[in-house]
Amino acid sequence: MNAAALLKVVNFYGRFTPSFTVIGYRARGLPGRPRYPGLAGKRIVISGASAGIGASMALAAAENGAEVIAIGRNREALDDLIAQCAGPGRIEADICDLSLAAETRALAERLCARGNVDALVNNVGILDHRYSETEEGIARMYAVNILNPFILTETLIACGALKPWSAIINMASGGLYNAPQNLVYMKQKPEGFSGVAGYATHKRAQIVLTNDWAARGFAAYTMHPGWVDTPGVQRSLPKFRKILHPILRNGAQGADTALWLIENQPDPVDGALWFDRKPRPAHAYARTRQPLASDADVIAMLKADAGL
């Protein structure tokens, strides 16, 4: 590693480690075992709930009396999650591959048939280092991270399952600090593929959608869970995890702000990234502040690809 690269690494870890790890969580006085009594009786839909932050969120919500619909591909993992639930709420599984628009629309139809959804957490997300497509011919990261969550949310709004008082939570990441708002990396091709740039672009696009849904009357938020030890981190960022494993947050700490937002529904803040229960700037570097695509451009692309 040359001197410039080493300095970049040192600056990165020096800047974010005290805040994004469990060190920051504890320093801000957040509870070790938080309670959310206001979730009792709420119906909460959580995608990517078979492991990691999603699973921790589902268990905590159910422990506080919520009815949780846990979405994932792995039936065995979701059955295990249900077995861990001790109530007083409950967890139900709904099997869906959110990389596929057809399955996402079928899921949305099932949820619409059940009635009101008090909160939707778009938690599913992936970071791939090699390009791949779904069987529908869509870039896989684009489909999972932004397109199909958009389809799911818009369908639930259209059918009336999501009401103006419903909460919509987009689970973002500090990874969005790496890119300005753009269309170039939204749906990439194999040539020149960058998983890191795509992931950052998708997560930043979540803020565009959050702003739009909030403007339409929903309690919509994009949140950053901090650096959490999840299966996704273990798979996609093994070196990062090896360095920071002792101080990464656990799933419950990563889920805390999402559940707090659902319970308290503070006024949405345009362009904010909610982190540790407060709205914070969505930019860490000056180079990302100037968007390379407008909000309207981002939404138009998603609507066109979603057929909306």
Q: CA nearest 169: which of 199, 213, 127?
A: 213
Axis-axis angle for helices 148-158, 195-215 (nearest 10): 10
Would you state the structure tokens that stand for residue 75, as one six-digit string?
């039936």
User: Cβ atoms within 10 A of the Cβ of 106, count?
Assistant: 13
177 flagged as catalytic: no
189 flagged as catalytic: yes
Helices (H), the chain: 3-20, 22-27, 52-63, 75-84, 101-114, 140-142, 148-158, 195-215, 231-236, 238-244, 251-264, 295-306
d(CA 136, CA 140): 9
Specify the residue for token string 């695509």: 293
- Angle subtended at Cα 9 by Cα 141 and Cα 251, rounded to the nearest 5 degrees: 50
- Angle subtended at Cα 122 by Cα 60 and Cα 301, rounded to the nearest 5 degrees: 175
Specify the residue for token string 């509870």: 31
For residue 115, report the phi and psi dihedrals to the nearest 5 degrees: 105, -150
d(CA 121, CA 152): 11
Which of 142, 185, 199, 221 is labelled catalytic? 185
Active site (catalytic) residues: 185, 189
